[in-house]
Amino acid sequence: MHRFSSNQSLYFLDPSNCLRKAAITITTSQYFEMTLILVILANCIFVAFPTQKSDINALSDMEYVSIGFNVFYTIEMLLKIVARGFISHQFAYLRDPWNWLDFFIVIMG
């Protein structure tokens, strides 16, 4: 169950704001959840592949894929922060312990 605060998200997005409404609609969609699970599974598969570097200065194809995963996780985090707020409300993004892991992975990535 998704819960959202009626307070402003990020101190300037009211619950009636179209950007926040869109973020809530996207993050509560079953398609968003399924896509997220599939991306996580694909990321696990790609992490298991060995990488070979032919040139020290060149990025391998796997590194580009890893960057793509990081971009997806960053977009997911930003959507959830816009929808819920960051930390100041009861149902904010960082008030959920599962999101601590997501936040840590995105920041470290």
pLDDT at 77 over 70: yes
Residue 102: which residues within 8 A CB-CB, separation 6 or more?
73, 76, 77
Q: Which two tokens stand for residue 89?
A: 């409300």
pTM for this model (two decimals):
0.78
Residue 49 is predicted with a pLDDT of 74
How far apart (Å, rounded) are the C-alpha atoms in residues 61 and 40? 18
The DSSP letter of residue 58 is S
State how far the alpha carbon of 14 is from the alpha carbons of 37, 68, 75, 83, 101, in Å.
29, 31, 20, 10, 27
pLDDT digit string, tens, across residues 8-28: 676 677 777 888 889 889 988
pLDDT of the residue at 1: 46
- Indicate the domain borders of the chain: 18-49+57-108
